[in-house]
Copies of this chain bind each other. A is one copy, B any other.
Amino acid sequence: MLIRPADDADDAAIWRVLEPTVRAGETLMLPPQMDQAAAISYWRQPNHHAFVLEESSDVLGTYYLRANQQGHGSHVANCGYATAAWAAGRGIARAMCLYSLEQARALGFAAMQFNCVVASNERAVGLWRSCGFEVVGRVPDTFRHPELGYVDTLVMYRRL
């Protein structure tokens, strides 16, 4: 597995990873009907550092790393991750998270915060916990899950 910065040539591969997750609408705060151009504009926006995880030149995961806030909140990092559906269960998300924590530390961030982890996404919640994150907030009914209806979102945090 290799993790490297994304560039324009990766847009189609990033979209192949993102599209099923965006369409499912169960975990990301993005419109399920969003097209490639809109998704890439979001994922690779100017203040996001975007990365891809590849194996044998196949992109199996992608994430962005950014400052969660401007100004006097800029010492806290934030990331968003997506794993290819066809590579689930192989530790891709964990590898990306652990690597991004190292990157954030190297960039001088003091902590990492996830603003809205969908509480019904138990796999992600468990993974982030195992990567050292704690739940520091729970916001009621802030996500409309297509099958479960309104579910809570979690604020998760760890120091670096």
Interface residues of A (CB under 8 A from B): 25, 28-32, 34, 68-76, 110-111, 113, 115-116, 136-146, 153, 155, 157, 159
Contact B141 A138 (CB under 8 A): no
Contact B155 A70 (CB under 8 A): no
Residues of B within 8 A of A34 (CB): 71
Q: How far, in Å, is A91 (CB) from chain B's closest CB?
A: 27
Select one of B31, B72, B74, B140 contacting A70, CB under 8 A.
B31
Give 13 A-B contacts (CB < 8 Å), ordered by A residue: A25-B72, A28-B71, A29-B72, A34-B71, A69-B142, A72-B143, A73-B116, A111-B141, A111-B142, A115-B115, A136-B140, A137-B138, A155-B155
Residues of B within 8 A of A137 (CB): 136-139, 155
Contact B116 A69 (CB under 8 A): yes
